[in-house]
Chain A
Amino acid sequence: MTAIRDSYEALVRTFGNVLFAVLLFVVWGILTMIGVIVDQGKDASVYFSSYPAAIARAILRLGFDNIYHSPWYIGIIGLILISLAVCTFKRVIPARLPPLRPVKIEKIPLHAQIELRGGEDDVRARVERFFSSRGWNVRKREFDGTEWSFADKHNWARRGVLIAHLGFVIIAAGTTVYWARGFSGDAAIVTGQTVQIPQTKAFIRLDDFRYTIKPILTKSGMVYQPIDYVSHVTVTGNDGIPRKMTVRVNHPIDVDGTLYYQASYGFATQFSFTHDGKPVPGFGDVVLKEGEQVAIPGTRNALVYDRFVPTVDKSSGMPSADPRVNDPAVVLSMDQSGANLGSALIDLHTPIALGNGWSATPQRYLLYSGFQYRYDPGIPLVGIGAMVLLAGLVISFYFLPARLYARVDANAERGTCTIGLAATTVKGYDIFETQFRELVDELRSHLEPPGPSPHLQPAEAF
């Protein structure tokens, strides 16, 4: 039993230690940076071509190719959340919200003593009045017959850390909601085509897609700057009523709570096929998107539509950099049982022999529009969490909760009183040093108005 309690306590001690939290931050930071440096979500072959084999293997084995969804990453965030919870209850709350307690004035680095003539009660009342008139919240307590005055500033702001921590927890909760209940996907729709989104059952038809590209002559040469991508779609959602809508970058559409975004575009090509010079029933028109292929019946070959070339440079006969369609062609290649047999640039309407009497002709191009869609019910929580976190940071950094401790001791034989003052803040002493000096100076001159006052030297020690 005690063994269990001991290990529980050790665990709480570890997780409640800020330095342990910082260690977790370090690991979190390193994992995050690995994901920045190592390309994410690529094929294994990409890693083998970019890194020595041993490193590539390690990347794949450790899941660094998809690090943000790896057990390491999720685990470290889990540990941070546990540490945050333990810390908040075991350390932050006791440390930041301390009860009113007497202190050993001289032991606190920010302290001062002022000696002046007057009765104890009178001096105490004047000290308290001084602090309350300057916005300090003054409270009195008696400990072992000694009366202490406590003055607090920005006491409420002691909760800033708690608010910041809570913000992080809310964000984490929001992202979990997406994992549990959200979904996302993409759909590339060729002009004129209708697709059904599997998760939402909505139908989307691409009526038209347009792009605007502007050639701009810059100092380093011609740049073809994309200006606009616009998809005109007809969407049929849950209510079964088709609606015409426009999707542009930065202007997604909302269909029954799922958002659809303009993500990409491309050129599909329609091919016609003949076998021994005759059209093949059921194999007349084939529409391929870039990267897609079609198997040639009765052979081990496949025709691959590699990419679309919007403009062929007339003088060189090679693809030009101009992405606008002027003189289009397609890059096609032949695949035999997975091996590439070579590729060629083919003008539209030009037949290409595929062997065994087969021939294909790229007939026309059709624009397709790539959409991303996403349903994320966690967004409001993430948004609220972000605001709470930010508020916590601002409170923590810009409002310094400070506490002053004052006791007044009478020196009966000299007819004077000694005011002992000390100050603590939630951020150590250095940050309050100047203010404390100024406050003490102000208090001193307030209590000892200039004039024919007794010649007492205030004793002071910083």
Chain B
Amino acid sequence: MSGFVKSSERKLSTQKFGGLQSKRRTNTVFNIISFILIVSIAAVVLLPIWWIFRSSVMGSQGIFLWPPTFFPLGTLNVTEWLWSNYIINPASFNFWLNLRNSLTITVPCVIFGTATAISCAYAFARLRFRGKKFLFSLCVGSMLMPAAVTLVPLYMAWSALGLVPSYWPLILPYLCGGGAFNIFLLRQFIRTVPRELDEAAKIDGAGYFRTLVSIIVPSIKSAIIVVALLIFITTWNDLLQQMIYIHSRESYTMVLGLTSFFGTFRTDFAGMFAATVMTILPPLVIYIFGQRYFVEGIVMTGMKN
């Protein structure tokens, strides 16, 4: 009898400990597997970007070597790489001119787009007014509107105003709001700022504008950086609009220059890749600087509604 009790007790205890231990072990195994998995997927994601760079410092013959080498020209010696590819004939891809043109469009878009998005988001997050729900759903609803639908009427309107070809059709829309998603994102952030700060400012005699500038804006700095970066990236990358509204080579932007280079100079592959790297670099550099705000910033809001 006593033996039976003992054995069953032992059974119970071994089951318990065995269970926990094996669980911990499977957890560790699982963690290692998922880590290896994610690192290898990340490597696959980065591979094309490395490949562009690799191809940009090889000669036109080197690019089509079979089998392809992982490192440029099969060497890690940086001095042997053909950096001369980056000296592209300005007649086919004028880096400095294109860069200047791109910045002429993106900088005002970023500044005014962010500012107007903040003011709109502030009103939606903090102020009470008639028709708020309706206006907010109009705003969010525009996220669902494919911009392609309005392409033709907008083109007609801009040409009627005599603004085609020019940069105005690319810049002016960003003076007004900077996109519904950005407004939505900023609104989410502003809602996380404690309302007590607003109240305190109000008691100190600050008006709405003053509250926005000196209380809200400093507390949502990271969100503002995210939105500014998003606007920069969308305006920098927007090939379709730029193709529609920019006609002459002198006013080509980076992506337009690259696309036309690809279309007309298909033989100069080395220069092609160098031009691709140059087009990719500005958003990439900006992203690397703002990266810690970027991903974590959006993740931390929780996008809660």
A and B together in one complex: no
A residues contacting B by CB (< 8 A) are none
B residues contacting A by CB (< 8 A) are none
